[in-house]
Amino acid sequence: KFTVTRQNEATTALDPHNRQEKTPKTQWEQKKSWGEPQKTLPAEMISRNNFSVWNILKKCIGMELSKIAMPVVFNEPLSFLQRISEYMEHTHLIHRACSLSDSIDRMQVVAAFAVSAVASQWERTGKPFNPLLGETYELTREDEGYRLISEQVSHHPPISAFHAQSLKQEFEFHGSIYPKLKFWGKSVEAEPKGTMTLELLKHKEAYTWTNPLCCVHNIILGKLWIEQYGTVEIMNHSTGEKCVLTFKPCGMFGKELHKVEGYIQDKSKKKRRVIYGKWTECMYSVDPKVYDSYKKSEKKSSGDAKKLRQVRKRVRDDADEMPEVQETVTVIPGSALLWRITPRPAHSAQMYNFTSFALTLNELEPGMERLLAPTDCRLRPDIRAMENGDIDSASTEKERLEEKQRAARRERSKDEEEWSTRWFQLGTNPHTGAEDWLYTGGYFDRNYSDCPNIY
């Protein structure tokens, strides 16, 4: 069940060590039961066939795209803050990590969680709405045992901060993301700068990592498709153990499309486990010796493949054709399954390729509106209009909100007033020593009297 919990301010206590806000449920909450989460959107996806992104981007090659206004038709009806909350789709992996006694076992499940956090981006070629400064999003999932709050803490550069906490004080997961977008002729590359921090409170462990690069191909011509690539290093700051994952670029013939491979090493740098799979499908773990012997036998059987590749060189003049998706992951005997993606609903292609989880994120249950902060994404009129299939209203509202934001910035500049964030403060990540936006607590007290009027 999806709930937004109303808290009794008089009885709220904030634990100074882990910021777990604890409040007994009100009588209203104990009686209230939400219905089933929605399984479809109010309207199907708007066609983009009559729009050319080339007209907008042709003067922007190599430039930072965060300041370029894109037509609303290229968006999906979610804010970037809601997109961030999709990291939590596979929270069951965090719960599993909490339950394991061995630190290497915990690390491999945390590695699977880090991969699963980007899995929802598969085929999601719509651009999420840029959050307005001060915009927030909250998500409480009692069935999954967590609640999340996020806030847009900076506009230039755009920075989104989030903090998720276990309802039973088992974990905290938080980070701040500064997405840098660049246009490279036929593709747009997104670099999600910022650090993810997962704290397993029972084990007194903290893991940190950064997300891989994401590239959307065929912005101008051909079918849009996505790949993730780059190296992700997950560090256990308590034990010194590290997991190094390589998200592989697809390569000339797409043999490596979606593949992720890596290993876990202990503090003495000895390899303990090999991790492999696809970020769109599943991840496995296997003993390094078993993996090495399997790879040796595989090389012998594919000796002629290299010669074949040298003969079949292909030139891509018009579009970066998406390689055909290869057969599912070949499972090495002796491997353990760490994670498998949740299948998408049958009508996903008509719903912006949303997962079942994403379909629920903008849902506004009866009675929820009066409990939400007035800055919550669900109350944002341009996103709501797009979700309802009204592209003209969505475009008009988007322009109005952006102009309102500019006017507010001019007023602050005239009064020499600095923007003040509401729920997060710029500080130092205690595990990395780097600058980070940290949750200050208090959101779930439900005192929204000093929230900005951004809509």
DSSP 8-class letter at 47 = P
Tokens encoding 418: 């600095």
Per-residue pLDDT 10s for the chain (455 aa) are 344 443 333 333 334 344 445 444 433 333 333 456 778 888 888 666 655 555 555 555 555 555 556 678 889 999 999 999 999 999 999 999 999 999 999 999 999 999 999 999 888 888 899 999 999 999 999 999 999 999 999 998 899 999 999 999 999 999 999 988 787 777 888 888 899 999 999 999 999 999 998 888 887 777 888 888 999 999 999 999 999 999 998 877 778 889 999 999 999 999 999 999 999 999 999 999 999 999 888 877 665 555 544 444 443 445 566 666 555 889 999 999 999 999 999 999 999 999 999 999 999 988 888 899 999 999 999 999 999 999 999 999 999 999 999 999 999 998 888 899 999 999 999 999 999 999 999 999 999 999 999 99
User: 146: which strand partners?
Assistant: 141, 166
Strands 271-278 and 259-265: antiparallel
Tokens encoding 318: 């018009």
Contact assessment for residue 291 and residue 298, using Cβ atoms and an 8 Å cutoff = no
Strands (DSSP E) contained in 364-443 are: 424-428, 435-439
Phi, psi of 183, rounded to the nearest 5 degrees:
-100, 125
Strands 213-217 and 225-236: antiparallel
Strands (DSSP E) contained in 346-446 are: 424-428, 435-439
Q: Please report the domains of the chain, with CATH numbers, ordered by start residue.
A: 27-445 (2.40.160.120)
Contact assessment for residue 75 and residue 386, using Cβ atoms and an 8 Å cutoff = yes
Q: Please, which residues have CB within 8 angstroms of residue 258's CB and are 6 or more apart in sequence?
A: 122, 227, 228, 250, 278, 279, 280, 281, 325
d(CA 140, CA 142) in angstroms, rounded, equals 6
User: 14: which strand partners?
Assistant: 21
